[in-house]
Amino acid sequence: MMMMTMKMTTQYTFWILLIFSILIASCSTILALGGPGIGTNYGKYGSNLGVPEIGINYGRYGSNLPPPEALPSLVSSLSIKHVKTFDMDPRVTKSFANTGISLSLCIPNDKIPILASNLSEAESIIRNLILPYHKNTIITSISVGNEVSLLPQFSGKLVPAMVNVHRAIKRYRLHKKIKVSTTHSLAILSRRFPPSTAVLHKSIAESVLKPLLRFLQRTNSPLMVNVYPYLAYKQSYPSIPLDFALFQPENSPKRRRYTDPYSGIAYTNLFDIMLDSVDSAVKSLGLPKIPVVVSEIGWPTSGDPGEAAASLENARVFNQRLVEHLRRRWNKVPVYIFALFDEDQKTGAAVEKHWGLLFGNGSRKYDLNI
């Protein structure tokens, strides 16, 4: 009887700590848009977006990275056909011409104010950086900025900027081919747990996110979010078991399960909880469900001393289990793994530099079956 009581107490403590940690965890401080679709079941608010596929983020804060012309063969070697960038460099766009690999581009944050007030600036970007390349390079989407929803200098101008970019694309009759969106961190959620009760941050819910979501629905574009189970795990250590963040094996005798007390949906991993929170938060605004793109997700291979979970093996396990988990599910969600290369010129903690599937010379860190 005592052993049973201790077991129940341990499980209860785990979920109380899980609730607290998810509430405080910030899910992305790393620098991101969408085109592919790989399946996952993230609750009754999910949306089916098509055949399972997966993409990769291409960041360039590295001192030893290969030139853009080498990218298509490196991406193809990973069996990946979708790339998301953080800029609109013509050299990169041109390098993917006639390769069958699609691109998701990004307009830098500092362009948002002028785009919001000047339609001609948006037209200039489309005319100079899209029109010369779109016939040979598959361009699926443009992100207007990256994780700026909560930044006062950008948040009020974000939707007008997105509207003007869409107008410019529509002028050249490319609006059905190229979608306009923006990427968010999970900091846009003020409550995240239980997932069915999640809500958007009050300071931007009505003024920024509601008109933004209506724009996305009106233009048939996806909501883009960066989801990082590693960061939630790290900030809550040791409250959340590592296996829960790494997608527990289905046959594990110690497999944990959490059931949302309000929706009745059962979860066996942190990723599904985080993703369902986004869908529920949109629903809390009284808006219909909207397709979601996971614009960044991954696991680091190294970090500062003491970050034992940031390891080559855990990164391999996480990304491989992510692919397998998504393939098993009937509900589809586009996913872009972060990232193609390590980026040794990033500032901040050491962990920021070690998210790549490849070393700077193009060799693989580990095998990943996509």
Instruction: Please list the rounded mean pLDDT of every run of 10 residues in the chain (370 residues).
Output: 44 47 38 30 37 84 93 96 97 98 97 98 98 97 96 95 98 96 96 92 95 96 96 84 92 85 93 94 91 96 93 98 86 91 93 94 91
From the list 167, 2, 143, the residue with the least C-alpha distance to 85 is 143
In a domain, 12, yes or no: no
pLDDT at 39: 25
Residue 18: the pLDDT is 53
In a domain, 367, yes or no: no
pLDDT tens per residue, range 14-60: 454 454 444 444 333 322 223 333 223 333 333 333 444 899 999 99
Helix (H, G, I), strand (E, B) or coil at 32: coil
Structural domains of the chain, count: 1
Domain annotation covers residue 129: yes
- In the chain, the amino acid numbered 232 is A
Cis omega (within 30 of 0) for bond into 238: yes
Q: How far is CA 181 from CA 205, 213, 281, in A?
A: 17, 10, 18
Query: Is 2 part of a structural domain of the chain?
Result: no
CA distance 12 to 244: 15
CB atoms near residue 87 (< 10 Å): 14
pLDDT score for 64: 87
Q: Is 23 within the bounds of a domain?
A: no
d(C-alpha 254, C-alpha 249), whole Å: 9
**HEC profile of 269-301:** CHHHHHHHHHHHHHHHCCCCCCCEEEEEECCCC
Give the per-residue pLDDT at 36.
33
> What is residue 9's predicted lDDT score, i.e. its pLDDT?
44
- Quote the domain boundaries for residue 298: 30-353
What's the pLDDT score for residue 174? 96
The C-alpha angle with vertex 177 and arms to 174 and 179, in degrees rounded to 5, equals 95
pTM, to two decimals: 0.87
**Active site residues per annotation:** 147, 296
Measured CA to CA, the distance from residue 161 to residue 178 in angstroms comes to 16
Q: What is the pLDDT of residue 331?
A: 73
- The enclosing domain of 318 has a CATH number of 3.20.20.80
Residue with tokens 């443009």: 142
pLDDT of residue 85: 98
**Coil/strand/helix, residue 166:** helix
Instruction: Report the distance separating Cα 198 and Cα 154, nearest Å.
Output: 24
Do the domain assignments include residue 347?
yes
CA distance 172 to 286: 34
7 domain residue, yes or no? no
In angstroms, the CA 258 to CA 108 distance is 39
**Is residue 102, in this structure, part of any structural domain at all?**
yes
Q: Strand pairing of 102-107 and 82-85?
A: parallel
User: Which residue has tokens 């960066």?
Assistant: 226
